Amino acid sequence: MADRFVAAHPWHDLEIGTLVSCSLDSQAVLAIFSRDRASCFVAKPQALLESVFQVVEIAKGSKVKYELDKQSGLIKVDRVLYSSVVYPHNYGFVPRTLCEDNDPLDVLVIMQEPVLPGAFLRAKAIGLMPMIDQGEKDDKIIAVCADDPEYKHCTDIKQLPPHRLAEIRRFFEDYKKNENKQVEVEDFLPAEKAIEAVRNSMDLYAAYVVETLRQ
């Protein structure tokens, strides 16, 4: 974990929101880590339908894969997709989270309009898409924008039209095929599994902070 750079830019000090609470030890550690910063870690116990902040890296309809540069904190162009597909929805990450691939937790947020890369919004997790990317776990949170009147009342992935889910699945199955990279998408899971994934990624980020403070 010593080589991780997830806290190298200010976006990871955004409040994660009020989706779920993490362990008391994690909250205490992160409060110490953030006490001199403008934004302090907040993860209040709330109903499962509350929102988290998401930083948008890629806008809905884009064929360009942008990603956050962990060293500079700027949005960089990673590549143009090799296939004739575009991102079906806005895509980004949840600040103050960390996953097994050393990156923050990925989120695909469903809403009416594209959002500029670098903006952040309130996203409500409604499901989890388990995914294996070239043999490595790379799960995605499926969310809706909490401030979009068309989608804000959605609470579980089962409420989405079947075609919408098929569209999401097909995009991730196909978008790396012309790079000769294999991606496997498993069955979508309900909101409870998404919330569990957020909790786990928060705790892993807290463990990273503990290790950083000890160095």
Residue 6: other Cβ atoms inside 10 A: 23
Tokens of 212: 């950083």
Annotated catalytic residue within 87, 91, 151, 205? 87
Q: Cα angle vertex 119, ends 54, 17, to 5°? A: 30
Task: Say if CB 97 and CB 204 are below 8 A apart.
Answer: yes
| 188 CB burial (10 A radius; 0-12, 13-18, 19+) | buried
Between CA 29 and CA 45 the distance in angstroms is: 17
Between CA 209 and CA 213 the distance in angstroms is: 6
In terms of Cα–Cα distance, which of 197, 189, 193, 114 is closest to 148?
114
Q: What is the CA radius of gyration of the chain?
A: 17
Bin 120: left if φ > 0, else alpha if -120 < ψ < 50, else beta. beta
Q: Reply yes or no on whether 87 is catalytic.
A: yes
Catalytic residues: 87
